[in-house]
Amino acid sequence: MSKYSIAEFIRQTEQNDELKAKFELETPRMLEVNLKDFIWAKAGSMIAYNGKIKFEREGILEHGIGTLFKKAFTGEGASLMKATGEGALYLADKGKKIIILELHNETIFVNGNDLLAFEPTVKHEIKLMRKVAGMMAGGLFNIRCSGSGLIAITSHYEPLTLRVTPGKPVLTDPSATVAWSGNLTPEFQTDISFKTFIGRASGESIQLRFEGNGFVIVQPYEEVYFQQSQS
């Protein structure tokens, strides 16, 4: 059989029916969810499914008025959908690499644009990063995931995890920061004036400073969160 034949292509890329865990990587950039009840997923991330699955956009009062207020400021990046039913569900997000993590009564903060899916046993809460409000659009928020269960996060290309230890802070570009451990509270650090900021969209002048004991996950890619002024 030719290595370029259609049959060989199907053999190499077809669904692997042997995988039966709740979350599995069908490919490094495609998540398979073996659904038997429901999960939360990033709105618009469904690319295929089989079985009987119903999709509903997260209700505006699904998690209380506080979340509703926060969502008014975070835009589409934090929008979730509920996938309910039974079958195989396939999720992806702009070809980004997918990382599956299992929480055991733990907490992790994830950039609002990088949370792909999570089990209903994982509690989530939108957290606004209020400092430098008005300077960034879409990148001001993250999602606190806590409890026990599976979550899937995304990264442009291969992620890097940096250890944060006492006395050795880690500074990151907010646009390249994917997630961090729940015991860390980053602070914005800026070395620019309003005059130098106007007309620029450079993330290097604003950093997130992490101090304490934990970890930070970064990606080799800067997502654009800065709001361009228009005249």
Other C-beta atoms closer than 10 Å to the C-beta of 123 total 15
Look at residue 181 and tell me if it is in a domain.
yes
The gap from C-alpha 166 to its chain's centroid, in whole angstroms, comes to: 27
HSE at residue 81, side-chain half, CA atoms within 13 A, is 16
Give, in order, the Cα–Cα distances in Å from 106 to each of 48, 135, 154, 202: 31, 32, 19, 34
CA dihedral (109, 113, 116, 122) in degrees, to 10, reads: 30
Look at residue 9 and tell me if it is in a domain.
no
Query: 182 is written with which tokens?
Result: 């729940």
Look at residue 2 and tell me if it is in a domain.
no
27: domain CATH number is 3.60.160.10
Look at residue 1 and tell me if it is in a domain.
no
Look at residue 185 and tell me if it is in a domain.
yes
Look at residue 183 and tell me if it is in a domain.
yes
Name the phi and psi angles at 220, rounded to 5: -85, 55
What's the pTM? 0.82
**What pLDDT is attached to residue 191?**
64
Tens of pLDDT, residue by residue over 126-150, are: 887 755 544 454 446 889 999 999 9
Look at residue 14 and tell me if it is in a domain.
no
216 vs 228, which has greater pLDDT?
A: 216
Q: Which helix (H) or strand (E) holds 13?
A: helix 6-13
Look at residue 212 and tell me if it is in a domain.
yes
Separation of alpha carbons 141 and 113, rounded Å: 9
Give the chain's domain count. Answer: 1
Q: 135-154 burial, b for 16+ CB within 10 Å, e for fewer?
A: bbebbbbbbebbbebbbbbb
Query: Which range has the worst mean pLDDT, 12-26, 36-50, 143-157, 172-186?
Result: 12-26
CA dihedral (216, 105, 153, 76) in degrees, to 10, reads: -100
Tens of pLDDT, residue by residue over 49-108, are: 999 999 998 765 455 444 544 454 445 446 889 999 999 999 999 999 999 999 999 999
Separation of alpha carbons 121 and 141, rounded Å: 22
Can you give the residue range of the structural domain that contains 149?
A: 19-218
